[in-house]
Structure formats: C-alpha cells, structure tokens
Amino acid sequence: MTRIFSGVKPTGHLTLGNYLGAVRRWAQADQHRADALFCVVDLHALTVEHDPARVRRLSRQAATLLLAAGLDPALCTVFVQSHVDEHARLSYVLECTATDGELRRMIQYKEKSVRARAAGESVRLSLLTYPVLMAADILAYGTDEVPVGDDQTQHVELTRDLAVRFNQRYGHTFTVPRAARPEVGARVMDLQDPAAKMGKSHAATAGIVYLLDEPEVVRKKIMRAVTDSGTEVEYDREEKPGVANLLDVLAACEGADPGELAGAYDSYGALKKDTAEAVVELLRPVRERHAELAADPGHVDQVLREGAERARGMARPTVDAAYRAIGLLPAG
Ligand code: ATP
Ligand code: MG
C-alpha cells in the first residue's frame, strides 16, 4: 500500500492556503487511499523567533484542526513530531549526507533568512538545516508520496537527492519519495499581496483567511481583497493576479475550473461576494467540529499518544537500519 507522509508547522493559525493546498486533500482523499501519517511538525516551528507557550498552544490547536478537518485516527496516523525521537535521530545522519551548499540554495531559507535579518533577528542554524529534518520526517517512514503545496516542492526534491545519495553510498535503506501537488489550490496567494503566498507565519494578517476566523471576518477580508486595474473578470495570473487568486479559491471550493468560472462574472464585486460565501460555507463544518473537539482536550491527547506510539513503531526499523548502514556500532 502506498505510504504517505505530510505535516503542518505550528508557526501560526492554520490558513485557507493550508486547507486548500494540503489538509483538505489529506482528509478527503489521502487517508482513504493510502497508509497515511499526518504530523504537527513542532520542531520546525523552533527555526524562527518563537514564544514557547504559543508554540505549545498552536501545536494542540493544529492537531485539533486536523481532526476537525476530517482526519480519522481509525484510518490514518496523527501525531506530533517531537513525540517521536526517530525524526531528530535520523536528521543528524542525513546532515552527514547533505552539503551546506545545497541547503543555502533553498528558496525558503533565502526568503525567511532575509525576513529575519530585516526584523533585526539573528538567523538560527536550524533554519538552514530544517529541510534535512523534513527529509528525516519523510524518509523515516518509507514514504512513497508527500502531498504538499507548491512551496514545498524544492524540499521534497532535496529529500529525494539525499535518499538516492545515501542509498548509493551506504546500501539501499530509503524509499525515494515523490511530491504530489493538488490540481487546484496548490498556491493560494495573500489577499492583500497577490504576489506573495498566503502564509500562516506572516505578520500582516489582513490578507490571510484563518480556518478559525468568524464568518464576518472571512467576508470582510475577501471583500477587501486587492484586485487589479480594469473591470473585466479574466483568469490571467500574470496580468490579473488578484482576480486570478479569487477565481482559484472559488474554483477550489466548488470543484470548478477557474478559467470557466471567469466567464460567469461581469464584476469584481460579484466575484468577491460569491468567493466569500463559498469560503464561509467551506470552513463552517471545520469550525463547528473544532469547537466540539476543543471542549475535550483529553480526547485529542489520547489520539496524539496513540498516533506517536504507532509512528514510533513504523520509524524505528528504518532509522536503526540507517544507523547501521552509515557505520554506527549497534548498542549490544
Ligand atoms: P509558514 O509561513 O510558517 O511557512 P505555511 O502557511 O507556509 O506556514 P506550512 O506549515 O509551511 O504552512 O505548510 C503546511 C502545508 O500547507 C504544506 O503542504 C504547504 O505546501 C501548504 N501550504 C502552505 N501555504 C500554502 C498556500 N498559500 N497555498 C497552498 N498550500 C499551502
Ligand atoms: Mg511554509
């Protein structure tokens, strides 16, 4: 059976981008067709300036939202990365497989390190090595497929390179995974800055729809989305990125084609209104289920405990094999 692994970082409240680009598909398709693991990758949230209490809170909230979005522990494994030691154990060995040159070339490292420096913060070493830990997340489970949004494609490529290199040098140990991107919703853009991806850790929040935003807030954010000059509704990502983004979101909500949808609108206002309503309806069941689950944190804890137990059992043989292959003496 196909093995799937994917994760979400507790760096902020989950967004519409996270949902359309990743989580919705995990719940509606992936968990039903494969042996899937979904992880709140909390170690990755420590790569940038962070508040410990907030990361802890957001980790629980992210796990609760994954369940609210429909991940079913009877069908898939839901857990928190730091609960399973194998990730960090394997990451070190993969660091001995990667080069600093290939990590410095990662686009997200470049973007996030520039942002940190601009904010007067130092750049943590873990921001540079984070894609190696992500490779460990994936490779520890013999993963075949990694369903992610567009922004993660480069990191999955690096994971493949590391797996192939390790296998060639030390003997076959890792499955070489592939990225699987969604057909629609792979890249939801910021409503106030359609040149930038909607990202949960961004400081300016007016252009970001969070899964737990009240319906009124969702409507307001979408009605105030930056659109483009002219008045004609066309699907043109280059010339009309703001309108194209709204069409992409509406299409992803309705399972329609954005180019075809464009023909149905003769004003930006009407497009915004329908998009706002579609997003409110899309998120309604997730918010409602989240409220129920948040009232029973003991249940979420238990799901995470069982998930970590299962994940540990799956990861340990692969990580042990990697330790042996690279030359480490097994404990007697
Ligand atoms: P951060 O700003 O901290 O990087 P993020 O919003 O990019 O947060 P991640 O935890 O890095 O979220 O990514 C979780 C998943 O959501 C990944 O599969 C990623 O590809 C996907 N994703 C993130 N942002 C978007 C987006 N704007 N559109 C589509 N998919 C996205
Ligand atoms: Mg990201």
Q: What is the pLDDT of residue 58?
A: 97
The runs of H, that is alpha helices, within the chain are: 16-18, 24-25, 31-33, 52-68, 86-95, 100-104, 107-118, 125-139, 153-170, 215-223, 241-254, 258-262, 268-294, 297-326
Euclidean distance between CA atoms 43 and 55, whole angstroms? 10
Query: Within a domain: residue 188?
Result: no
Q: Whose alpha carbon is nearest atom 16 of ligand 1?
A: 18
Q: For residues 158 and 26, state if they share a domain.
A: yes
For ligand 1, say whether the CB of 91 is within 6 Å of any of its atoms: no
For ligand 1, say whether the CB of 131 is within 6 Å of any of its atoms: no
Phi, psi of 189 (to 5 degrees): -95, 160
> Which of the listed residues 4, 18, 130 should we mutate to test ligand 1's pocket, taking the one with most ligand atoms within 8 A of CB?
18
> Which of the listed residues 115, 151, 200 should we mutate to test ligand 1's pocket, taking the one with most ligand atoms within 8 A of CB?
151
Q: For residues 234 and 261, state if they share a domain.
A: yes
Between 199-203, 285-289, 307-311, the lowest mean confidence (pLDDT) is in 199-203
Q: How many domains does the chain have?
A: 2
Q: For residues 174 and 133, state if they share a domain.
A: yes
Query: Within a domain: residue 190?
Result: no
Query: Within a domain: residue 85?
Result: yes
- What average pLDDT does the segment 97-111 reach? 96
pLDDT band for position 218 (cuts 50, 70, 90): very high
Q: For residues 236 and 137, state if they share a domain.
A: no
Asked if the model's pLDDT at residue 237 lies above 80, the reply is yes
Ligand 1, atom nearest to 14 Cα: 6
Q: For residues 35 and 9, state if they share a domain.
A: yes
Q: For residues 78 and 165, state if they share a domain.
A: yes
CATH of the domain at 140: 3.40.50.620
- What average pLDDT does the segment 313-317 reach? 98
Q: What is the pLDDT of residue 68?
A: 98
Residue 33's CB is within 10 A of a number of other CB atoms, namely 11
Ligand nearest to C-alpha 150: 1
ipTM of the modeled complex: 0.99
Q: For residues 162 and 309, state if they share a domain.
A: yes
Ligand 1, atom nearest to 48 Cα: 3
Is 149 annotated to bind ligand? yes
For ligand 1, say whether the CB of 127 is within 6 Å of any of its atoms: no
For ligand 1, say whether the CB of 81 is within 6 Å of any of its atoms: no
Catalytically annotated residues: 112, 197, 200
Q: What is the pLDDT of residue 203?
A: 86
Query: Within a domain: residue 198?
Result: no
Is 200 annotated to bind ligand? yes
Query: Within a domain: residue 129?
Result: yes
For ligand 1, say whether the CB of 9 is within 6 Å of any of its atoms: yes
Ligand 1, atom nearest to 41 Cα: 10
For ligand 1, say whether the CB of 43 is within 6 Å of any of its atoms: no
Question: Which pair of structure tokens corresponds to residue 137?
Answer: 């997340």
Ligand nearest to C-alpha 112: 1
Look up the pTM and report it.
Answer: 0.95
- What average pLDDT does the segment 308-324 reach? 98
CATH of the domain at 267: 1.10.240.10
Euclidean distance between CA atoms 99 and 129, whole angstroms? 10
Q: What is the pLDDT of residue 246?
A: 97
H/E element holding 5? strand 3-8
Question: Which pair of structure tokens corresponds to residue 2?
Answer: 């196909």
Query: Within a domain: residue 79?
Result: yes
Is 11 annotated to bind ligand? yes
Q: Whose alpha carbon is nearest atom 18 of ligand 1?
A: 148
Ligand nearest to C-alpha 153: 1
Q: Across the strands, what pairs with 110?
A: none
Q: For residues 263 and 168, state if they share a domain.
A: no
- What average pLDDT does the segment 13-21 reach? 95
Quote the ligand 1 centre to 242 CA distance (angstroms).
19
Asked if the model's pLDDT at residue 185 lies above 80, the reply is no
Asked if the model's pLDDT at residue 206 lies above 80, the reply is yes
Quote the ligand 1 centre to 180 CA distance (angstroms).
14
Q: For residues 73 and 100, state if they share a domain.
A: yes
Its domain, for residue 320, covers: 3-181+297-326
Q: Is 193 helix (H, G, I), strand (E, B) or coil?
A: coil
Asked if the model's pLDDT at residue 184 lies above 80, the reply is no
pLDDT band for position 287 (cuts 50, 70, 90): very high
Q: For residues 125 and 257, state if they share a domain.
A: no
For ligand 1, say whether the CB of 11 is within 6 Å of any of its atoms: yes
- What average pLDDT does the segment 255-271 reach? 95
- What average pLDDT does the segment 7-17 reach? 96
Q: For residues 251 and 167, state if they share a domain.
A: no
For ligand 1, say whether the CB of 182 is within 6 Å of any of its atoms: no
Q: What is the pLDDT of residue 332?
A: 80
pLDDT band for position 228 (cuts 50, 70, 90): confident
Cα–Cα separations (whole angstroms), residue 50 to 57, 58, 61, 141, 201: 12, 11, 16, 28, 11
Asked if the model's pLDDT at residue 306 lies above 90, the reply is yes
Q: For residues 177 and 230, state if they share a domain.
A: no
Q: What is the pLDDT of residue 181?
A: 84
Q: Is 15 helix (H, G, I), strand (E, B) or coil?
A: strand
Asked if the model's pLDDT at residue 64 lies above 80, the reply is yes
Convert the pLDDT of each residue in 121-167 to its tens digit: 999 999 999 999 999 999 999 999 999 888 899 999 999 999 999 99
DSSP string of 218-259, one letter each residue: HHHHHHT----SSS-----TTT-HHHHHHHHHHHHHHT--HH
pLDDT band for position 243 (cuts 50, 70, 90): very high
- What is the layout of strands, in order, in the sheet containing 145-147? 77-80, 35-40, 3-8, 145-147, 178-180
Query: Within a domain: residue 281?
Result: yes
- What average pLDDT does the segment 93-110 reach? 97
Quote the ligand 1 centre to 62 CA distance (angstroms).
13
Query: Within a domain: residue 149?
Result: yes
